Amino acid sequence: MSIERELFITEVALRDGSHAVAHQYTTEQVTQVAKALGEAGVPYIEVSHGDGLGGSSLQYGLSRTNEMELIEAAVSVCGSSNIAVLVLPGIGTIKDLKEAAKLGAKMARIGTHVTEADVAAQHIQTAKELGLETVGFLMMSHMASVHKLVEQAKLLESYGADTVYMFDSAGALLPHEVKERIHALRQSLSVNIGFHAHNNLSLALANTLAAIEEGATRIDGSIRCLGAGAGNTQTEVLVAVLDRMGISTGIDLYKIMDTAEEIIAPILQAPQEITRDSLVLGYAGVYSSFLLHAQRAAKKFGIDSRDILIELGRQKVVGGQEDMIVDVAAELAKNKAIYSV
């Protein structure tokens, strides 16, 4: 199948991948990766703490390196690529956004829970005033009906977002569900439509292709699948598949494959594969960045991390409620002790 369409990929390994390395990126690593991605022709490279600007904290995980240093380093070597930053209102501030723009960031990606788009208004408007290409996105999109998703997306459009993304943050959606949602967004909005997948059910690439079929033209990928949970749509694989489909991304296939093999692979603390815990993220519909937090809590309280994740899914815990992970683990351990007596 050949689809002639302008399509842009945002590489998220230096942001979403921060979760997978416990936010321990060094300036040297970011410099090396951003330079290679720029040389490969990747149009947008997202750089920040996994939970966005201002995310370095005890609750979300402390960064090894100040993210503004990482942004500045990436800007200095990325060539014609544009550096993007993530802002989650309530975590990242207007001040953070202005500082990132001053350092040379060209795109602001403003994210909220799928039912809370209204909290993004000020951040989107400020990003536009700063002259940044502005993306609004809705996280955990599996948790809302198609009607609610469209309603919230229209709010992001009304605030001035150039692009509206649907985030499958838990990697819980199936291809037909992606198609239905993207189709509805495409029919209802006049701005660009984007899609961000996670691979917890091994459906990231399939879901991404479904989104593209329905009109999404802004797509996220993580090189070598370096992202939260089981990672995102694998960039180098996506580029190869799109090339086979006749869709140009402007990314050099050999260079992106070499970057994955020679630069990203040594950074990985473990192969990005679908483990029992990351599988449960998709199965239970749990925020992908909860993975390491749940594993730490399981070890601390001597219980199965899968039980924590299943309970988090049952309680519909969302991004920003990381403190609930320890509470849930403690309660499960308490109940286990009672029933074992």
The reply, when asked if residue 254 is annotated as ligand binding, is no
Q: CA-CA-CA-CA torsion for 11, 247, 164, 170, nearest 10 degrees? A: -60
Closest CA to 306 of 315, 297, 319, 317: 297
CA gap 77, 73 in Å, rounded: 7
Closest CA to 227 of 268, 193, 266: 268
Q: Find out whether 292 and 19 touch, Cβ atoms under 8 Å.
A: yes
Which of 19, 113, 123, 293 does the annotation list as catalytic? Answer: 19
Structure token digits, residue 199 = 């691979």
The reply, when asked if residue 147 is annotated as ligand binding, is no
CA gap 118, 159 in Å, rounded: 9
The reply, when asked if residue 339 is annotated as ligand binding, is no
CA gap 57, 59 in Å, rounded: 5
The reply, when asked if residue 158 is annotated as ligand binding, is no
The reply, when asked if residue 15 is annotated as ligand binding, is yes
DSSP 254-309: HHHHHHIIIIITTT-SS-----HHHHHHHHHT--TTHHHHHHHHHHHHTS-HHHHH
Structure token digits, residue 82 = 């544009």
Establish whether 23 is a catalytic residue: no
Residue 326: CB atoms within 10 A of its CB come to: 16
The reply, when asked if residue 243 is annotated as ligand binding, is no
CA gap 44, 271 in Å, rounded: 24
Binding-site residues from annotation: 15-16, 169, 196, 198, 287
- Residues marked active site are found at 19
Binding-site residues from annotation for Mn(2+): 16, 196, 198
Binding-site residues from annotation for substrate: 15-16, 169, 196, 287
